Amino acid sequence: MMKVSGLDAFYGSSHVLFDVSLEIGDGESVALLGRNGAGKSTTLKSIMGLVGSTSGTVEWRGSGIRGLRPSVIARRGVAYVPEDRRIFPDLTVEQNLRMGRSANPKGALAVEEVLEMLPLLAPLVDRPGGVLSGGEQQALAIGRALIGRPALVLLDEPSEGLAPLIVESLGQVINDLRTQQGISMLLCEQNRDFALALTDRAYVLDGGRIVYSGTTAEIRAQSGDIDRLLGV
Ligand SMILES: Nc1ncnc2c1ncn2[C@@H]1O[C@H](COP(=O)(O)OP(=O)(O)OP(=O)(O)O)[C@@H](O)[C@H]1O
């Protein structure tokens, strides 16, 4: 479904990603693990067309998308949930959700359909986004991606900054998407256990390079080495 080959990325003269290759199959959920600054966000942003200077190949359903505008990539069915969530604080939850319809103006879901997928948002629809808790904002950011009916969601560190109990319920939300909706996912995380519980396979990034890849079971079996790469 998505095949990234030999991807390099640069911020000005700073070379940040080196020869990154990864694949995500139809309906597959894949983790991208790595410590702070390993290049996880840059990988997602490069796939989404948000990094100005990249080289290599990003294939989506058989055609090259590297270099296309983010809005074009979104319309082809790839959604991106940024690390900072980018909730509009003065818009209500419902209005925030509607903003995501631009990714798929003709085929977007109704707000009610998103609320069925993310029931924790249902009682909050009229609240301004800015007053939601961190976990609720994360669910809203995911909902805003889902309303455009994507086939692949790129999720950047959804557990970051959330209390352990909230992380657990967020995990259930993400797991439901995976098991009930069949949406493919690339999940960036520093939180190894959270990510491995929600994915089939994982890649480990270090210093902008993929240094390890395997099934979640294989990664668990190597947990000592992986923890060293994650800096824990
Ligand atoms: N806009 C930018 N301009 C210059 N350098 C950047 C920019 N964004 C990220 N970097 C650098 O690129 C490298 C990779 O950063 P990236 O954000 O992709 O890592 P990450 O694995 O997502 O880490 P984090 O969890 O801290 O976001 C880091 O060295 C970072 O300082």
Could you tell me which residues come within 8 angstroms of residue 173 by beta carbon, excluding any fewer than 6 positions away?
A: 118, 120, 139, 142
> Which tops the pLDDT comparison, 134 or 227?
134
Dihedral of CA 122/123/126/130: which sign? Answer: negative
pLDDT for residue 31: 97
**Widest CA span in the chain:** 48
pLDDT for 56 beyond 90 = yes
Chain-centre distance for alpha carbon 207 = 20
Q: Tens digit of pLDDT for each residue in 98-150?
A: 999 999 999 999 999 999 999 999 999 999 999 999 999 999 999 999 999 99
Helices 164-176 and 134-146, axial angle in degrees (round to 10): 20
* Residue 224: per-residue pLDDT: 84
Ligand 1 center to 8 CA (angstroms) = 14
SS3 for 205?
strand
Q: What is the ipTM of this complex?
A: 0.95
Q: What is the 42 CA–ligand 1 centroid distance (Å)?
A: 6
- Delimit the domains of the chain by residue range: 2-230
Nearest-5° angle of CA 180, CA 85, CA 67? 85
> How far is 111 from 173, CA to CA, in rounded Å?
17
Confidence class for position 215, pLDDT limits 50, 70, 90:
very high
Shortest-distance atom of ligand 1 to CA 157: 25
Reported as a single tens digit per residue, the pLDDT across 65-78 is: 999 999 999 999 99
Which residues on neighbouring strands pair with residue 81, listed in sequence order?
Answer: 155
What percent of the chain has pLDDT above 90?
Answer: 82
pLDDT at 57: 97
> Which of 3.30.460.10, 3.30.420.10, 3.40.50.720, 3.40.50.300 is the CATH number of 2-230?
3.40.50.300
Alpha helices in the chain (DSSP H): 40-47, 70-75, 93-99, 111-117, 134-146, 164-176, 192-196, 216-221, 223-230
Residue 54 CA to ligand 1 center (angstroms) comes to 14
State the pLDDT confidence band at 225, using cuts at 50, 70 and 90. confident
Question: Atom 25 (ligand 1): residue with closest C-alpha?
Answer: 36
Residue to probe by mutation, ligand 1, list 18, 20, 42, 186, most atoms within 8 Å of CB: 42
3-state secondary structure of 52: coil
- Rounded to two decimals, the pTM is 0.95
DSSP category for residue 107: T
Distance between CA atoms of residues 66 and 224, nearest Å: 35
Task: Tell me what the mean pLDDT of segment 43-50 comes to.
Answer: 97
What pLDDT is attached to residue 216?
93
Is pLDDT at 53 greater than 90 in this prediction?
yes
106 DSSP assignment: T
What confidence tens digit (pLDDT) does each residue in 159-212 have?
Answer: 998 988 889 989 998 998 888 888 999 999 999 999 999 999 999 999 999 999
Q: What is the mean pLDDT of the chain?
A: 94
103 phi, psi to nearest 5 deg:
-70, -20
